[in-house]
């Protein structure tokens, strides 16, 4: 099974911009979609997974090298606006 993986490049952007742009992109995607976020802010390695837990999205993989952090997530159920 091959999944269509959406990409979001937030390199050279500092907190909170990677999380905000991840949220905006997730809002455009259907439940079950996969998003790969590439960052240079090392804080994103904690911030984006924490945001995912709070908002019902699943972190599939995190990768980190000396320059970049890559977080792959699956979009969860859309939140219901009250």
Q: What is the pLDDT at residue 82?
A: 46
Told to judge if 15 belongs to the known catalytic residues of this protein, a careful annotator would answer yes
Its pTM surpasses 0.95: no
Catalytic residue among 6, 13, 15, 70: 15
Q: What is the pLDDT of residue 4?
A: 85
Q: Is the peptide bond before 16 cis (omega within 30 degrees of 0)?
A: yes
Question: Percent of the chain scored above 70 by pLDDT?
Answer: 91
Q: Check whether 81 has a pLDDT greater than 80.
A: no
Q: Which helix (H) or strand (E) holds 64?
A: strand 58-64
CATH architecture of structural domain 5-74: 2-Layer Sandwich (3.30)
Please determine, for residue 10, whether its predicted confidence score (pLDDT) is greater than 60: yes
């Amino acid at each position: 099974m091959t999944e269509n993986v959406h990409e979001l490049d937030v390199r050279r952007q500092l907190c909170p911009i990677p999380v905000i742009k991840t949220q905006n992109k997730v809002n455009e995607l259907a439940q079950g979609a996969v998003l790969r976020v590439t960052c240079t802010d090392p804080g994103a390695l904690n911030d984006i997974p924490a945001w995912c837990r709070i908002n019902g999205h699943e972190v599939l993989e995190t990768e980190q090298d000396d320059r970049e952090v890559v977080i792959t997530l699956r979009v969860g159920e859309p939140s219901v606006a009250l």
